[in-house]
Amino acid sequence: MSQGRLFELVYLLLERGQMTAKELSERFEVSIRTIYRDVDALSAAGVPVYATPGRNGGVALMDHYVLSKAALTDDEQSQLLTALRSLAGDDALGSSETLSKLSALFRRDQPDWLQVDMSRWGNSPDGKAKFAALKDAILTRKVISFTYVSSYGQTTTRQALPARLVFKGQAWYLQGFCLDKQAYRTFKVSRMLELSVTGQTFSTPLSPPPIDDPEAAAPCSVDLRLRFSPTQAFRVYDEFGESSVKALPDGSLEVYVSFPEDNWVYGYLLSFGLGVEVLEPERVRLGLGVLAHKISAHCKNPDTGCQGFGATMGTSQTKEDVFMNADQTFCQSCGMPLTDPTQRGAEKDGTPSPHYCKYCYQDGAFTGEMTMEEMIAFCAPMMAQSNPDMTEEQAKEQMRKFFPLLLRWKEADK
């Protein structure tokens, strides 16, 4: 006699009220005689089930019976059903079927008042498959491997012990123990590519820090004071907490927020176009302006992009060493390697500049006026991000050593 069949028989009767022995036998693929034996077994166990003969007869439970109702209070039953209803938008979780079973179990027919669908607009089936694979890996404690694209623009192959999925802001994140870094890391699920759940299991208890833990946050963050045009109000209230937004008399909005200071934050601010102004800090305001100038120059003459400040100097050698290497030529303003003639800036007569890249120099003049220290302040964060073993202060120290060797800053000191 199957205990599972007995339990399912009870919840079916709770849900439907009454079923014929023939319907039950077809449902469980057993004989009608077996169904009647099940009814006798349940009755002997104290479950008030009975069978009535005749054309309108069948198997039913006494009206007062509710299985395990005493285990949960009315409020707890409502909370559990609400939690399941909030997941009903994702069929991959199987929550709709569970919701139906528990509604019958508690004899509660709650209104369909809530549905939460946390998938992205236009999300492909691949997204749900990835989520289901991560869920399975967490519950079965299996090691995962994947390719990860970081906010620093680096693509690496990782292995991790998955701990939990977290929905934060507007995206899903996976928290887990990274075997490559030997530390807890948080990965944005949309940037986890080529995900594979390996056959390797682990027994290590996992306890990742809260996703808002300051110690788990990005090593470099910046406090921003921003002013948004009234036309950006819809995005401001979509993307920032109401307590961090201050409405000004002219209709503009002032926002105080802290973000990781990396390439992402500059791209994010640029996504507002002319609808945002950086009020503080000055280095971000300046950096955003320089980046906008470079984008403008790039759009006027599109070709290969800037190779990034991280490419100009590694942690294994100083910029002075590289600068003295006769086999390479560098922009005498920002230090970018000039390995391609199309990367060079232009003089007033259109001839290529012998000294500067096109992002720093166009039409015989610099694209942005700044001091050497301002250029260092702009370059250092990106350089530190491109070299994970280097802090921003270490990047600044190295730049202060080699920037005075560059022609632009030599001329400025005269």
Q: What is the DSSP letter of 120?
A: P
CATH of the domain at 237: 3.30.70
The two three-digit tokens of residue 234, written as one number: 């819809």
Residue 112 lies in a domain: no
Q: DSSP characters for 374-407? A: HHHHHHHHHHHHHSTTS-HHHHHHHHHHHGGGSH
**Mean pLDDT score, 112-133:** 62
Residues 40, 73: one domain?
A: no
Euclidean distance between CA atoms 345 and 332, whole angstroms: 11
Residues 173, 268: one domain?
A: no
What whole-number percentage of the chain has pLDDT above 70?
71
Residues 273, 315: one domain?
A: no
Residues 131, 190: one domain?
A: yes
Q: Are 176 and 208 in contact (CB under 8 A)?
A: yes
* pLDDT (tens digit per residue) in 377-401: 887 877 777 676 778 888 888 888 8
**Mean pLDDT score, 262-277:** 84
Euclidean distance between CA atoms 21 and 170, whole angstroms: 50
Residue 291 lies in a domain: no
CATH of the domain at 9: 1.10.10.10
Start-to-end C-alpha separation, the chain: 97
Residues 92, 188: one domain?
A: no
What integer pLDDT is reported at residue 112 of this predicted model?
A: 55
> Does the pLDDT value for residue 283 go beyond 80?
yes
Residue 321 lies in a domain: yes
Residue 299 lies in a domain: no
Grade residue 224 by pLDDT with cuts at 50, 70 and 90.
very high
Residues 130, 174: one domain?
A: yes
CATH of the domain at 136: 2.30.30
Residue 115 lies in a domain: no
Q: How many domains does the chain have?
A: 5
**Mean pLDDT score, 150-167:** 84
Q: Are 386 and 304 in contact (CB under 8 A)?
A: no
What integer pLDDT is reported at residue 321 of this predicted model?
A: 42
Contacts of 237 (CB under 8 A, 6+ apart): 245
Residues 84, 171: one domain?
A: no
Containing domain of residue 25, as a range?
Answer: 3-61
Residue 300 lies in a domain: no
Residues 407, 350: one domain?
A: yes
DSSP helix/strand/coil, 119: coil
* pLDDT (tens digit per residue) in 295-336: 776 665 544 333 344 444 443 344 344 333 333 477 888 877
Residues 173, 88: one domain?
A: no
Peptide bond into 388 cis (omega under 30): no
Residues 341, 374: one domain?
A: yes
Residue 301 lies in a domain: no
Peptide bond into 281 cis (omega under 30): yes
Residue 376 lies in a domain: yes
> Does the pLDDT value for residue 376 go beyond 50?
yes
Residues 409, 313: one domain?
A: yes
Euclidean distance between CA atoms 381 and 221, whole angstroms: 10
Euclidean distance between CA atoms 266 and 284, whole angstroms: 8
What integer pLDDT is reported at residue 265 of this predicted model?
A: 83
- Within its chain, how far is the Cα of 213 from the centroid? 16
Euclidean distance between CA atoms 228 and 255, whole angstroms: 8
Contacts of 361 (CB under 8 A, 6+ apart): 333, 345, 346, 353, 355, 367
**Mean pLDDT score, 186-195:** 89
- Cβ neighbours around 392 below 10 Å, total: 17
Work out the widest C-alpha separation in the chain, in whole angstroms.
110
Residues 313, 408: one domain?
A: yes
